Structure 1
Amino acid sequence: MRMQVVTSPPIPSPRRTTDHLPATVTPPARRRIASAGLSLAGVALGAVFYCLSFTPSLLPRVWFLQGMVAGVTAAMGYGLGAALEALVRRFRGPMRPHIARIAWAVLAITVPVLVAVFLWLGNHWQQDLRIRLGMEPAPDTDIARTVSVSLLTFTVLLVIARLLRLATHGCAFLFRRAVPVPAAYCAGTLVVAVLSYTAFDGLLVANLFAMADRSAAVVNNGTGNGVTVPVSGLRSGGPGSAVSWDSLGRQGRAFVAGAPSTDELTAFAGRPAVEPIRLYGGLASALTVEDRARLVVREMDRTGAFDRSVIAVFTPTGTGWVDNKVTRSLEYMYAGDSALVSMQYSYLPSFFAFMGDRSEVVDAADALIGAVRDRWATMPAGDRPRLLLFGESLGTYGMETTFGTPEALVDGADGALLLGPTFANPAHRELTENRAAGSPVWDPHYPQLPIEFADDATELRDLTGPRPKVVYLQNATDPVVWWSWDLLWQKPQWLIGKRAADVTPDMHWYPGITFWQITCDLVFSNKVPTGHGHVYKSETVDGWAAIAPPPGWTTQDSLRLRALLDR
C-alpha cells in the first residue's frame, strides 16, 4: 500500500508596498527642499531681471547700492520664474529630461555673455549719468565690487526663500494627518505667510522705527558744530526770548544761529543792512502744536517781526530742518530786513515721518501758518509786510494740505515757494492732472492761476507777464517728486514723449523694476550737485526773485547771490 504524501500550500511572501503600483510607475523620490537644484525658468528670468537692474534710472548709484539693487531684482525674477515653472509643471507635467538638458546648456552659454554685456552697458550708463549731473566718474573697479555684493544679496534671499518653503512643507506634513493634502499645503502656506508677516512687521519694521526714533531723539538733543547760543534778542533762545535754547532741538538751534551777520549782509547789498530776525518753536518749547504756534507769534511781536519788509513762514522737513541756504538767500535779498519763523513737528527723518503719521506736518503747518496769518490780517493793508510761505519735501505736503486747493494756496499769502513736492500733495496733483494741453508733466502750465513750475530754476529768470504768486521747483531728476506707487504697473508720463533735459534717453520703464530703482534713488537723492536730485539750495534765489523780489533786484543780483551761496 502506497502512502500518499500531502504537501501543504506554500506560504505567500509578504507583499512589497510597491506591488499595487503599475509596473511603469516608480515610487516618488523623497523631495529635497533646502538643497533642491535651481529652477530653470527661475534662472532664466532671474538673469533677465539682473541685466535690467543695470539700466539707468534718474540718478547714478554707488557700487554697493547697485549691487543690492541687482541682487534683489534678480531674486524677484528668480521667484517669478520658479513660480511660473511650478504652475506649468502642475498642469502639464515636468519637462522631458533631454529638453531640460538642452535648455540648461543654452542658459550656460547665453547668461554669462548677457551679463557681461549689461555690466559693460551699466557702467557706461552710470558714467554718463554722473557726467550729465556734473559728478566725477566712478572707478571701473566698482564693477567687480558690484557683482560681489549682488551675488551675496541674491544668495541670502534665496536661502531665506528655501527656509520659508521648508517651513511650509513642515507645516503641511503636520496638517495632512487631519485634512487632505491640498488643504494641508494651503494651510501651511497661510501659517508661514502670517508668521513671516508678523515677524517682518512686528520685529523688523517696528524695531526699525523704534531704533530710528531713539536715534533721532538722541540727535535732536544734540547741537551741531559751531552752533552757539545767540547773544541777540532777535533770536529764539537768545536774551529775553520766551523760548529756551534747550527746547529748540538740534535743527531749531541751527536755524536761529545760522543767519548771516550784519557785516556780511552790508557787504553784499552795498548799503547798510539790519540784523535779521529768526524765530523757532521746538517740540519741547510747548506742550501742544497750537501752543507752539502761539508762542512763535508772541516771539514775533516781541522782536518786532511785523515791522519788517518781509515775513517768511517755513514748514520744515521731518527732523525740523530748514536748508540754511534757503533762509540766507531771502535775508541777503532783503539786506536783513526780514523775519523768518518755523516750528518743529517731529524729529524723525522725512521718510519715517511720511510713512508714519503725515497728520503731524499738516497740524503744524495749519497751526503756524494760521496763527501768523491771523495776526498779519489784523494790520492795515498798506502797512503789512510781505507774507511768504515756504515748504520743502514733506513740508510742501503740510502746506498744500493746509490750504486744500490751488486757489486757496494762491490766496493764502503774498507768495509761496515749494521745493521737491511729493506725489501725495493734493494741489500739486490737481495742477498736474489739469495742466494745459501740450505742456509736459515735468513742466506743467496752468494758465488759470498765477502758478509757475520749473524743472530748472534758471527758467524763472525769463518769465513774461504777471508775476507768479506760487512757484514749484521740481528737479527733473528728483525721485521725491517722481516716485509713486503706480510706477509698479504703469509707465510714468515723464518717460513718455519729450523728456526733461536731465533725464537720460537711455532710461526705460520696466514693470516693478523701475519702481524699485526709483525707490533706491531716494536713498542718495541728497548726494548730488545743486539742481539735481533732491538738492535745491541756491536755486531758491531764482524762486524768491520770481515771487517777491525787493525793489531794484536784477538777474545779475541773482547770479551774484547764487555764486555767494554756492561758495
Structure 2
Amino acid sequence: MPETAPSVPSRLRDGSVRYARSLHPVGLAFALLFFVWSMTPSLLPRPWYLQAVATGISLATGYAVGCFVAWVVRKCGVEPHYSPKARRIGWWVLLGAAVILVPTFLVLGSWWQQIVRDLVVTDRANRTYYLLILVISFAVAALLLAAGRGLRSAARRLTAVGLRYVPAPVAKITSIVVLVAVLFFVVNGALYAGLLALANGSLAAADHDTAAGVTQPTAPERSGSPDSAEPWDSLGKEGRTFVAGGPSAEDITALTGRPALTPIRAYAGRESADTVEEVAHHVVAELKRTGAYDRAVLAVATTTGRGWVNQDVASSLEYLNDGDTAIASMQYSFLPSPLAFIADRETPMVAGRALFEAVYAEWAALPQESRPKLVVFGESLGSYGGQAAFVGGQDMLARVDGALWVGTPNFTEQWTRITENRDPGSFQRVPVIEHGAGIRFAGNPADLELDGPWGDSRVVYWQHAGDPITWWSFDLLLNRPDWLREPHGPDVDPGMRWIPFVTFWQVTLDMVFSADVPPGHGHNYGEDAVDMWAAILQPPGWTPGDTERARALLAGE
C-alpha cells in the first residue's frame, strides 16, 4: 500500500514539535522570567499592542541571555548530563511555571497599567485586549529569534569558508568581523542614507500642506504676511501654524486689562535658502523688518524636526510681556521629530548655533542700554539643538537674560553635564545646581521655589518625572539610573523598578505616545509655561491673578 501524505494539521504539529525541541531550556527559562518582568509598570501607560511589542522583544532578549549563560557555563567546563527522566521532569516544571506565571502576570500587567493611567489622569483601558498580547508577543519573539538564527547560520558559513585558508580561531573571529561590517554598512550606510533621502524627499512634499484652520496672517509683525519678505508657502506646515497662531494685542489686553502690542513672530522655512546658516540670516532680516530689536523681550526659539514650536510656551511669553516681544525661529529639516531623534542629531545643533549666533550678533552690536532682554527656549529636539549654542550653564547665564528648556532629551551634552554636577543630596529628576543661584530644574512650578537667592539671569529646565524623552538612554540596558534609585516622581508608579534590558525597551516604547497624555505628564508641556516664564522674567505689573487667567486660557477653560 502506498504511503499517504500527512495531513496539514499533522505537518503543523510535527513542525511545532521540531521547533520546540530546537529551543534551549535555559533560554526558555530566562524568556519566561523576562516575560514576567516585561509586564511591570514603567513611566507611562502603554496601549496593549505596544505592550505586546515590548514583551516580544523581552522574550527574545531573555532567551538570548539564557543561551549565553548556558554557553558560558559550558565553556567553563561545566556540562551536566541529565537522564531522560530528569529532562522530562525539567520540561514539565518549566511548562507548569509558564502555565501559572503567564496568565497571572497578564492580569497583573493589565492592573498595573490601570494604576499608571490613574497617576497621569487619563482614561482607563479595556483590559480584555491583554489576551492578545500573548499571541503577538510570541510572534515578535519568533521573528527576532529567526533573525538571530539567520545571523548565526551566516557566521558559521563564513567560518567554514575561512577554515580553508586560516586556523579555526582566526576564521571564527574574521567571520564575525565581516558579518558586523556588512550589517553596519547596510543598516548605517547605504540603507540608512537611502531611507533618509527618501524620507526627506517625501516629507518635503508633504510639508506644503497647511493645518486645518490656519490662515495667512495679515499683521506686518508676522512672517508670511503680505508685508513679509518670507513667502507664506515657503514657511513649511509647522512654520505657517506658528506665525498664524498666538495672541493678538486685543487678546492680551482682554486678559490683563493693560495696553498691548501685537507680538512679533519672525520665521523662515527650510526652503528659503540652501543652508541652515542662510535660513538663519533670513530670520534676522525679518527681525529687522519688524523692529524686533526695539521690543522689550527678544526670544530665540529652536524648533523640533519640521519646525514645530510649542504654542503654549510662546504665547505665555507674549501674554506676560504685554505683547512687547519678538520670537525668532526657523525650520531646519523636513524630518518629523521621532525620525530626526533617531537619524539626524547633528542638524538640530547646527541650526541652534546658527540661529542664536545670527540673532546675538545683531543684538550685541546695539548700545547696551537699548538692548531688549534676550531669552532662549526650545522643547525636545529644540532644547537639544538650542543648547548647542552654549558651552555650558555658565555660558548661558552670561549671554542671555533667561532660558526655558523643555523636555530635554537625555543625550543633550549640556543637560548631562549640569545634572551630573548637581548639589549633593538633590535628586536627578529635580537636581539643585549651586543652591539654585542661576539654574533651576522643575517638574512643576513649585519646584522652582528654593531657599537660596536666584540671580538676574535665570535658566529653567522644565522636565516631568514621567517624561521618557528626558529619561531614555542606552545606559538603561545595563545600568540603573539615579532617577530609579531615588524616590519616584509624583506621577510615576512607586512599583517601577530598573530591570536589565527590559526597562530600556519599556521606556523606548513609552516614547511613542509620550505626548498623548494630559498636560503636566509625560512629554506634554502646557499651561505651566506661564508660571515658568513669570519666574524667569518677573515682568513688572504681572500678578498671580494674571497667571491664573492665562493658565485657564491656555488650558481651554
Q: TM-score, normalized by length of structure 1? A: 0.87
- Are 1:295 and 2:286 matched, yes or no? no
2:120 to 133, 142, 145: 133
1:433 to 403, 420, 435: 420
1:228 alignment partner, SS class: coil
C-alpha separation in 2, matches of 1:471 and 1:238: 33
C-alpha separation in 1, matches of 2:118 and 2:259: 42
Show the counterpart of 1:407: 394
C-alpha separation in 1, matches of 2:551 and 2:59: 44
Show the counterpart of 1:221: 208
1:488 to 462, 466, 477: 477
- Are 1:459 and 2:447 matched, yes or no? yes
- Tell whether the 8 Å contact from 1:34 to 1:162 is kept in structure 2 after alignment: no
Show the counterpart of 2:8: none
Deviation at 1:391, TM superposition (A): 1.5
User: Which range moved further: 58-67 or 93-102?
Assistant: 93-102
Deviation at 1:395, TM superposition (A): 1.8
2:122 alignment partner, SS class: coil
**Structure 1 389/181 Cα, relative in aligned 2: closer, same or farther at 3 Å?**
closer
**Structure 1 428/197 Cα, relative in aligned 2: closer, same or farther at 3 Å?**
closer
Deviation at 1:118, TM superposition (A): 1.5
Deviation at 1:253, TM superposition (A): 1.3
CA RMSD of aligned residues (A): 2.6
Deviation at 1:130, TM superposition (A): 0.4
C-alpha separation in 2, matches of 1:364 and 1:151: 43
C-alpha separation in 1, matches of 2:166 and 2:393: 60
- Tell whether the 8 Å contact from 1:477 to 1:533 is kept in structure 2 after alignment: yes
**Structure 1 146/278 Cα, relative in aligned 2: closer, same or farther at 3 Å?**
same
1:221 alignment partner, SS class: coil
Q: Percent identity?
A: 43
Show the counterpart of 1:117: 104
Aligned residues: 536
1:537 to 526, 530, 543: 526
Show the counterpart of 2:11: none
Show the counterpart of 1:564: 553
Deviation at 1:209, TM superposition (A): 3.1
1:538 alignment partner, SS class: coil
Deviation at 1:150, TM superposition (A): 0.9
1:394 to 381, 387, 400: 381
- Unmatched 5+ stretches in structure 1: 1-31
**Structure 1 414/87 Cα, relative in aligned 2: closer, same or farther at 3 Å?**
closer
2:347 to 339, 354, 360: 360
Deviation at 1:185, TM superposition (A): 6.0
User: Which range moved further: 331-340 or 306-315?
Assistant: 331-340
**Structure 1 176/408 Cα, relative in aligned 2: closer, same or farther at 3 Å?**
closer
C-alpha separation in 1, matches of 2:501 and 2:548: 42
Matching residue's letter, 1:353: A
Matching residue's letter, 2:503: T
Deviations 1:224-244 (A, max 9, x none): 122222222211121232212
C-alpha separation in 1, matches of 2:495 and 2:464: 18
- Are 1:105 and 2:105 matched, yes or no? no
Show the counterpart of 2:268: 281
Deviations 1:31-89 (A, max 9, x none): x9978522111110000011101111111111100000001110111122123334545
Deviation at 1:192, TM superposition (A): 5.0
2:533 alignment partner, SS class: helix
- Unmatched 5+ stretches in structure 2: 1-16
Q: Which has the larger radius of gyration?
A: 1
Deviations 1:518-559 (A, max 9, x none): 112121211111111111122211111111132221223222
**Structure 1 97/177 Cα, relative in aligned 2: closer, same or farther at 3 Å?**
farther
- Are 1:502 and 2:487 matched, yes or no? no
**Structure 1 146/548 Cα, relative in aligned 2: closer, same or farther at 3 Å?**
same
Matching residue's letter, 1:140: R
Matching residue's letter, 2:129: D
- Tell whether the 8 Å contact from 1:33 to 1:162 is kept in structure 2 after alignment: no
Show the counterpart of 1:12: none
- Are 1:45 and 2:40 matched, yes or no? no
- Tell whether the 8 Å contact from 2:28 to 2:66 is kept in structure 1 after alignment: yes
User: Which range moved further: 47-56 or 293-302?
Assistant: 293-302
- Tell whether the 8 Å contact from 1:461 to 1:555 is kept in structure 2 after alignment: no
- Tell whether the 8 Å contact from 1:209 to 1:352 is kept in structure 2 after alignment: no
Matching residue's letter, 2:47: V
Deviations 1:499-532 (A, max 9, x none): 2222211011111211221112121211111111
User: Which range moved further: 186-195 or 342-351?
Assistant: 186-195
- Tell whether the 8 Å contact from 1:33 to 1:165 is kept in structure 2 after alignment: no
Show the counterpart of 2:438: 450
Matching residue's letter, 1:78: Y
- Are 1:249 and 2:233 matched, yes or no? no
**Structure 1 422/98 Cα, relative in aligned 2: closer, same or farther at 3 Å?**
same
User: Where in structure 2 are the equivalents of 1:54-133 lying within 5 Å?
Assistant: 54-89=39-74, 91=77, 92=79, 94-133=81-120
Deviations 1:163-197 (A, max 9, x none): 44444455555665666777766666555555555
Show the counterpart of 1:267: 254
Q: TM-score, normalized by length of structure 2? A: 0.89
User: Which range moved further: 332-341 or 501-510?
Assistant: 332-341
